[in-house]
A and B are shown apart, each in its own frame.
Chain A
Amino acid sequence: MIDLIGYGAFFLTTALIFSLVTLGLNLQWGLTGLFNVGLAGFVAIGAYTSALLTTPDDAARLGGFGLPILVGWLGAMIVGGIAAALTGMATLRLRSDYLAITTFGVAVVVQLVALNAQKLTGGPFGIGFIPRPFGRLAETPLLFNLSNLAVVCVVTLIVYLALEHLSRSPWGRVLKALREDERAAISLGKSARFYRVQAFAVGGAIMALAGALQAHFTGFIAPDNYLPILTFQVWVMLIVGGSGSDVGAVVGSVLVWAIWAGSGTLTSILFSPEQQARAASLQIVAIGVMLCVILLVRPNGLFGERPRRMRFGKRAKATASESGS
């Protein structure tokens, strides 16, 4: 029983950290219509920044500044936000696809830096000894897991409430207006690019915060944690939950993580150890197909807003309506 509660707490903690990333993506995509296929890169930036700031001094690499955990989280958000703002400034005056390609590139480069810049990131072996909040409780796993869950719950709640407030504020209304009808919003004197860069930066900062939380929760990070599969999982979470809805982002994350972890357990029971890697790839196929089916059948997910027009949507419609027939 106690094991079960402990596992439940562990599961929920991971799921809620995912839901933080999904909330960030929802601000970028759901609210503003900005397509980020490199979010794993921003999560990694947050994790590494916070790890560098808070770990004890390490002669093999830069820093290990031993700062308090909260400073690490703040630093993660700042660096993640700046990285996202730079990405946005480079591409947001161009067609929306360019942002997709650039973010994809950001993830590739972050992965390269994590792997190769040993002095900064510890290379393929990553960074260990990241301080954990309530690390003293590690001897009693249940208490430790529950306190972690409490921390993550509080952070998620704060971000959720802040995002709900933001999306109802004048700032959020401008973003929605831009998403629905760019020309009309611009004619009211709103600078499309400026607002979009802001939204993208705030989303990136939230993703980085999630990365930092995860790093302090597991105590160890390595480049393998931030492969494209992470980006993919979060996208499925947002689409299942319904883009545009913060509730959907959280529910979708918990639901998809439950499916993912459940099918992972199932494959480890059903397949022999040497077949595990293959079974894991089949798991990814299933989730990929699921994403495509949801896009086709129920594009608004569980809690999504009504269908809406996207940037450049009208022109794409004109091109495609016949070619589809």
Chain B
Amino acid sequence: MSLQFVVDGLLTGSMIGLGAIGVTLTYSILRFSNFAHGDFMAWGTYATLAVVSAIGATFGKVAPIAPLSFGWPLLVALVVGMAFTALLALLLDKVLFSRLRAQGQAIIVVMASFGASMALRSLLEFSFTSRPTYFSRAIQIAMPVGFGIRITPDQIALLLLTALLVLGVHLLMTRTQIGRSMQALSQNAALARIVGIDVAGVVRVTWILGAALACVAGVMIGILVQIRPFMGFDMLLPMFAAAILGGIGSIPGAVLGGLIIGIAEAGAVQLIGAEWRAAVSFIILMAVLFVRPIGLFGVRER
């Protein structure tokens, strides 16, 4: 088989990994699995698309940056989209999740996130219809880089962006006060509160970080594949599988888990066929749950 699946897998894996960071943070700090996370992805992407169209309408046609398929409008729009997605997450937390958390039934919050996910996705379908759209219809020529691998400039840029973001989040989690507070809260909530950690602040940062990264992952899917209301929902199982494979609460784990699942999916597409792709994450998930439920970098729950 050709080694092309490695590049394809790394790209899919980057999208899964960026999304899984949000899943793993919500799970370890807010203690529930957020089924609406995929829909943050889709909402962020549509928001970015809307801003790109708005810029296009105001400034006319903007030439893309040299070899890439997109220009500065997409970068500006991405930042706006990230902010929008973060606000959406905060709003949803305020009207729904925080109130249910206060009632103290963790699993009810999961159910609410399932309901919210359904409503958010259908709202997108209502506003934009289920027809797929694209950021750009330009076709990029893939460059051969040896070993039978081909890669487009967009793909290189997005892989670099992922690496930068992951490094940034890692530094934020390990080198800053808020990052350490987040870790403290996920490891021992009661103790964290006793030493005076601002819980509400940590919760806010968790949502902002997770939602903003979900938006980036969604835009990546939008650039490389297509934009659909179901784009995020379809990523949900791979993201959960990546977060659990990496170990709940571990950011390097979530990214590594995402890459493993991405490469496994790409390999399966080449060997078995694209139609079975979605089963890969389920098989990996079941294997992890049977063999090592705490995942690669997880810590045993206290």
Contacts and interface: CB of A to CB of B under 8 A. Distances in A.
Given A98-B244, A105-B282, A235-B114, A323 B96 contact: no
A105 B285 contact: yes
B158 interface: no
Contacts of A95: 301
Contacts of A140: none
A98 B200 CA distance: 26
Interface in A260-301: 277-278, 281-285, 287-289, 291-292, 295-296, 299
Interface in B110-143: 110-112, 114-120, 122-123, 125-126, 129-130
B101 to A, nearest CB: 3
Contacts of B66: none
A112 B286 contact: no
A81 interface: no
Q: Is the interface of A mostly helix, strand, loop or mixed?
A: helix
A319 B114 contact: no
B122 to A, nearest CB: 4
B1 interface: no
Contact of B129 (A278, A317, A320): A278
Contacts of B237: 101, 104-105, 108
Interface stretch (B27-35, B49-57, B144-152, B166-174): B27-35
B100 interface: yes
In this complex, the interface size class of chain A, counting residues with CB under 8 Å from chain B, is 35 or more
A139 interface: no
Contacts of B100: 295-296
Nearest to A320: B101
Interface stretch (B72-80, B175-183, B253-261, B273-281): B273-281
A310 B279 contact: no
B107 A33 contact: yes
Chain B, interface SS category: helix
B98 interface: yes
A232 interface: yes
A94 B289 contact: yes
B165 to A, nearest CB: 25
A143 interface: no
A322 B98 CA distance: 9
A255 interface: no
A157 B30 CA distance: 42
Given A277-B130, A318-B189, A319-B189, A313 B116 contact: no
Given A105-B237, A228-B233, 7 more contacts: A104-B236, A105-B286, A235-B111, A281-B130, A288-B115, A314-B104, A323-B202
Interface of A: 33, 35, 37, 90-91, 93-98, 100-102, 104-106, 108-109, 112, 115-116, 228-229, 232, 235-236, 239, 277-278, 281-285, 287-289, 291-292, 295-296, 299, 309-325
Q: Which 6 A-B pairs have the closest CB atoms?
A: A288-B119, A317-B104, A320-B101, A324-B102, A316-B106, A291-B115
Interface of B: 27, 30-33, 35, 96, 98-108, 110-112, 114-120, 122-123, 125-126, 129-130, 185, 189-190, 193, 199-200, 202-203, 233, 236-237, 240-241, 244, 275-276, 278-279, 281-282, 285-286, 289-290, 293, 301
